[in-house]
Structure 1
Amino acid sequence: MSHDVIKTFTGNIEPGDHPYLQGPWAPLHEEVNADDLIVLEGAVPDDIDGVYLRNTQNPLHQALSRYHPFDGDGMIHMAAFRDGKVQYRNRYIETKGLQAEIESGERLWAGLMEAPSLSKRPGWGAHGAMKDASSTDVVVHAGKALTTYFQCGEGYRLDPLTLAQAGVPDWSPEDGISAHTKVDEQTGELLFFNYSKKPPYMHYGVVDRNDRLVHYTPIPLPGPRLPHDMAYTQNYAILNDFPLYWDPEALKQDKHVVRFFKDKPSRFAVIPRRGGVDDIMWFEAEPTFVLHFLNAYEDGDEIVLDGYFQEDPMPTNYEGALPGYERMMSYLDQFKMGTKLHRWRFDLKTGKTTEQRLDDRIMEFGMFNQKYAGRRYRYAYSALQVPGWFIFNGYLKTDLHTGESWEIRLPEGQFASEAPFAPRINAKDEDDGYLVTFIINETTGKSEVALIDCKRFSDGPICRVQLPHQMASGTHSCWANGVDFRDGGILARAAMGG
C-alpha cells in the first residue's frame, strides 16, 4: 500500500489517563491521500459507487480544564468506491476556530464541561463561547459535503471526493445550523434546525437543491432547549421539545446544568415542510430524551416516527470513572441511559399520540436506505455499543414488518463506525446493498474500511480494506451515491446552478 502524507499537524495534547484521548479515541494529526489500498479480506465489489464520509473528533490542543470528546476538532475521512476500487482521504475541517488556535498555539475556547468564562475569545453555539468545531455530523448536499456541530455553528463545506475546503454556506443564519440536517434525495432539499438561549429558542429552515435558503421560520419554545435531531416525511418536518434541558435557575447564573424534568411531557412539533408558526401542530408523549431518530412517514391521517427512546435520560454517575468525569462517562453510555428502538404515532385529526416499543435491546445510531427517507420503509440498521463506552462493536438489522432481526459483532479489539446504507447499483429491493463502515483495529494499529452485504447480513464483513493509519473514533457519517454528485446527478446539477 502506498500513500502520500499531505500534512502533519503539531499540537500540545497530553492524553494522560483521559479515557477519550487514547485507544480508539487517540487523536490523529496527519492528513493523507491513499489510492493503492491493500484488500485484507474478500474483494471490493464493482456494484457499489459513491463516497462514505465520516466525521471524527481530533483535538489539536490541550483543553483549558476538562476535555469532553465532543470538543475535538472535526476531521473528515472519505472512502470512495467505484469500479471495484477504493480511494481514501482524510482532512481536518478548516474551521475559523481551528485556524485561530493553530495560529495562537493553544486552546482558546471552553468545552462542553468547562465554564464559558474560560474562553479567551467570543465563541459560537447555543451554549455560548464555545468553538464551532464542526465535528459532529456530515451530509452531502448541492454537490458539497456539509459538516455541522451539535451546539450549532456555521457549517463548513468540502468537496466530497477531494475534501478540498469550500468555506461556510452563504445562507447560514444568525443562530447557526445544528447537526442532523436532513437531505431528501427525492427533492434535493436540505432541512435543518437550530436552537439558542434567546426567544423563540428554535428555528426550522429549508435549503433548496440549488443551495438557496427558501424557508426559515421560528418554532417557539417555552425556554432554551437541547434538541439534537429532527425528522421529516414527504409533507412535514418534525421538531421536538424534550424535558431534558438546562436548569432555568442555574442558567440565570450562566451555569449550564442539565436536568431531566420527568413530570413534563415530551412534545413534538409537526409542521408542513414550508409551513409557518400558525401551522405547527404540537403532540405530547411520554417524557424522555431522543438523541437520534430513524425515519418518519405518513400513514393515512397519522405520522409514524421511529427513534431511540431513553429510559433514563439522566443516569446516575459512572462508578470508577476518572474524578470529574463521572457524569460524562454516564451520558456516553447507552446502557446507562437505556436507549431502545421506539415508535410514536401522531394522529393529525385527533391530536392524540400513541407509542410502541419496537425492541427491548440496547441500540442507537440507526441507519436505513435513504431512498425511503420520509416514506414507508422496512429495514433499520442500528449500531451496538460496547457497555460503558461511546464506541461500537456490532450492528443489528431489524425487519420492522416482521420483527425479525440479525446481529453481528466484531472480534475483540475492533471497533466500528456509524454505518450508512449504500444501495447496490441497479438495486431491486430495499435491503439490496451494503453497510459501509470504518473499523478501528487496535490489534494492528491501523484502520480499515469494510462492507457488509445486507442481503447476507449475518455473514459479517464481506470485504475489508486496509487504511494507512488508525483513525480516531467519532460520531456521524453519511453515504452519497456517485450518480447524485457526478455526471449531471441532482446534487451535481445543483452545484452548477442547474
Structure 2
Amino acid sequence: MKVERQPPVVTSLLPSNHPYLTGPWTPLHEEVDAYDLEVIEGAIPHDIDGVYIRNTENQVHQPLGRHHPFDGDGMLHQISFANGKADYRNRWVRTRGFEAEQEAGRSLWGGLMDGPGVSTRPGFGAHGGLKDTASTDVVVHGGRAISTFYQCGEAYSLDPETLEQLGVAPWAPLDGVSAHTKIDEATGELLFFNYSKHAPYMHYGVVDRHGKVTNYTAVPTPGPRLPHDMAFSEKYSILNDFPVFWDQRLLERGVHAVRLHEGLKSRFAVLPRHGKTEDIRWFDADPCYVLHFLNAYEDGDELIMDGYFQENPTPEPLADAPDGHGHLMSYLDEHSFRSKLHRWRFNLKTGETTEKHLDDRILEFGMFNQRYAGRPYRYAYSTTTRPGWFLFNGYVKHDLETGESWELKLPEGRYASESPFAPRINATSEDDGYLVSFIMDENTGRAECILVDCKKFEEGPVVRIALPHKMCSGTHSVWADRRFIRDGVVPPMG
C-alpha cells in the first residue's frame, strides 16, 4: 500500500472522555490518498467497478458547549474498485463553516445540544445558530458527489473519483437542502426537500441530471416540522408530517426542544413527481417517527412504501449512560426508540392507509439495489445495532416476497458502516452483487473494507481490505457504478 498524506488541518480539540469523542467516535483529522490496498483475507472481485463513499462526523475544535456527534465536520471516505484492485482516499467537506473555523483556529458555533447564545456567529443554512457541517448524507448525481446536512444546509459538491472540492451545488435553494436527497438512476433525477421555521415550512424539488431545477413546490404544514427523509416511486413523491417536532412555546424563546404531540396522527403527502401544491393528497397513518425509508412503488391502485417505524420516538434518558449524556444517547439508540421494518399502503382510489410491521427485530439504515428504486423490489438489507450506541454490529437480508431473512453478525468490537448494495457487472438478478462496508475494529484500532456476496449472505465477507487509518463513526453512504458516474443515468433492472 502506497500512502500519500495531505497537509494537516488546524485543530484545537483537547483530550476528552466524552462518549462521542472517544472509541469508535474518535475524530480523524488526517487526509490521505492510498493506492493498491492490501488484502487481509480473500480476493477483490473483478466484477464490480465503481466507488463507495461514506460520510462521517469529525469534531475539529474544542466545543463551545455540550458536544453532540452530529456537530462534527463532514469527512468523506471513498474506496474505488476496478479490475480487482482498490484505492482509498478521504477528504474534509470544506464548507464555509469549516473554512471559517480553520481561519479562526477555534470553534465559532455551538452545537445541537446548546441553547441560544452559545454561537459567536450566525449559522449557514436554514436553521440559524447551527453550523452547516455537510456531515449527514452523500449521494452521487450528475457526475458529482453531493454532501448534505440534515438540518438543511447548502449542499456541497465534490468529484466522486478524486474528492476534489467543487463548491456549493448551484441549484440549491435559499432554504437549503435537507439530507436524504433521492436519486432515480433510471432518469438521472435528484429529488430533494427542505424545511424551515417560516411558512409554508416545507418545499420539495426535482433536479435533472444536468443540474437544472425542474420542479420546486411548497408542501405546506400547520407549523415548523422536522422531516428527515422522503420516498419516491416511478410516478409519485412522498413527503411526511410526523407528530414529533419542536415545542412551539419553547421555540418562541429560541429553545429547540423536540416532543411527541399526543393526539396527532402521522401524515404523508403524495404528489406526482412534477406536481404542484394543489396536486398534493394527504394520507393519515399511525403516529410515529421515521428516520429512514427504504423504497416505494406502485401496485395497481396502491402506493406501497417501506421504512423504519419508531414505536417510541421520544424515549426516556438511558439510565446507565455517562453523566449528562442519557438523553442524547437514548435518541441515538435504536433499542430505545424501537425502530421496526414497516410497510405502508396508500390506496390512491379510496384515500385509505393500511400498515403493518414486516419484522419485529430492532432494525434501521436499510439499503437495496438502487436499480429498483421507485419500482417493485424483493430484497432489502438492514443493519442491526448494539444497544446503547449508534453502532452497527450486523446485517439482515430480507426477502420481502417470501418473508424469509438471513442475518450476519460481526464479531464483538467490530462495527460496520451503512452498507449499500453494489451490483455485479452484468448482474442477472436483483441480489446479484455485494454489500460494501467500512469496518471499524476497536479490538485492533484499525479499519478495513469488506464485501459480502448477497447470494451467499450468511457466509460472511468474500474479501477484507486494509485501510490506512481508523475512521470515526458516521451515518450515511452511497455506492455509484463508474458507468453511472460517467453517464448520469443507468437503465433499471427487473
Establish whether TM, by shorter chain, passes 0.5: yes
Q: Runs of 5+ in structure 2 lacking a partner?
A: none
Are positions 1:48 and 2:48 aligned together? Answer: yes
* Structure 1 equivalent of residue 488 of structure 2: 490
The corresponding residue for 2:206 is 206
Partner in structure 2 of residue 313 of structure 1: 313
Question: 1:293 corresponds to which residue?
Answer: 293
The corresponding residue for 1:246 is 246
In the alignment, what sits opposite 1:376? Answer: 376
- Separation in 1, partners of 2:393, 2:58: 21
Aligned to 2:457: 457
- Superposed displacement of residue 15, structure 1: 4.3
Secondary structure (helix, strand or coil) at the match of 1:327 reads: helix
Mark the CA change 1:491 to 1:94 in structure 2 (over 3 Å): closer, same or farther.
farther
Mapped partners of 1:442, 1:360: distance in 2: 29
Q: Which residue of 1 aligns with 2:228?
A: 228
The equivalent residue for 1:5 is 5
Q: Residue 309 of structure 1 contacts residue 339 of structure 1 at CA under 8 Å; is this kept in 2? A: yes
Q: How does 1:80-119 map to 2 (within 5 A)?
A: 80-119=80-119
Task: Confirm whether residue 407 of structure 1 aligns to residue 407 of structure 2.
Answer: yes
Measure the CA separation in 2 of the matches of 1:184 and 1:220. 25
Measure how far apart 1:124 and its partner are.
Answer: 2.8
**2:430 is aligned with 1:430:** yes
User: In structure 2, what is the equivalent of residue 358 of structure 1?
Assistant: 358
Q: Which residue of 1 aligns with 2:70?
A: 70
Q: Deviations over 1:197-255 (max 9, x none)?
A: 00000000000010111110100000000000000000000000000000011111111
Contact conserved, 2:31 with 2:90, CA < 8 A, in 1? yes
User: Within 1, Cα distance between the matches of 2:127 and 2:327?
Assistant: 18
Deviations 1:138-186 (A, max 9, x none): 0000000000000000010000010000000111101100000001000
Shift of 1:320: 2.4
In 2, distance between residues paired with 1:299 and 1:291?
24
Query: How many angstroms apart in 1 are the aligned matches of 2:427 and 2:299?
Result: 25
1:166 corresponds to: 166
| Corresponding residue number in structure 2 for 1:20 | 20
Could you report, residue by residue, the CA deviation over 1:369-396 in whole angstroms, capped at 9, with x for unpaired residues?
Answer: 0000000000000011111100101100
Deviation per residue, 1:267-302 (Å, 9 max, x gap): 000010000110000000000000000000001111
RMSD over aligned CA atoms reads: 1.0
Q: Which amino acid aligns with 2:225?
A: R
Query: How many residues end up aligned between the 2 structures?
Result: 490
**In structure 2, C-alpha distance between the alignment counterparts of 1:311 and 1:156, rounded to whole Å:** 34
Matched, 1:258 2:258: yes
Counterpart residue number, 1:496: none
**2:315 aligns to what SS in structure 1?**
coil
Cα distance, 1:491 vs. partner?
A: 5.4
Give the drift of 1:116.
Answer: 3.2
Superposed displacement of residue 128, structure 1: 2.1
**Code of the aligned partner of 1:258:** V
Name 1:134's counterpart in structure 2: 134
Q: For 1:371, what is the secondary structure of its paired residue?
A: helix
Residue 360 (structure 1) shift: 0.2
Sort the Cα spacing of 1:126 and 1:315 in 2 relative to 1 into closer, same or farther, 3 A.
Answer: farther
Distance 1:402 1:15 in 2: 51
Identity in percent: 61
TM-score, length-scaled by structure 1: 0.97
Question: Which structure 2 residues correspond to residues 180-199 of structure 1 after superposition, within 5 A?
Answer: 180-199=180-199
Aligned AA for 2:204? Y
Residue of structure 1 equivalent to 2:60: 60
User: Normalising to structure 2: TM-score of the pair?
Assistant: 0.98
Which residue identity lines up with residue 304 of structure 2 in the other structure? V
- Whether 2:307 is the aligned partner of 1:344: answer no
Return the offset for 1:10: 3.1
Q: Measure, in 2, the Cα distance between the counterparts of 1:485 and 1:238.
A: 26
Partner residue, 2:325: 325
The 3 A distance-change label for structure 1 pair 15 and 363 is farther
Kept in 2: contact 1:116–1:130 (CA 8 A) = no
Q: Which ranges of structure 1 fall in alignment gaps of 5 or more residues? A: 493-498
User: 2: distance between equivalents of 1:353 and 1:126?
Assistant: 32
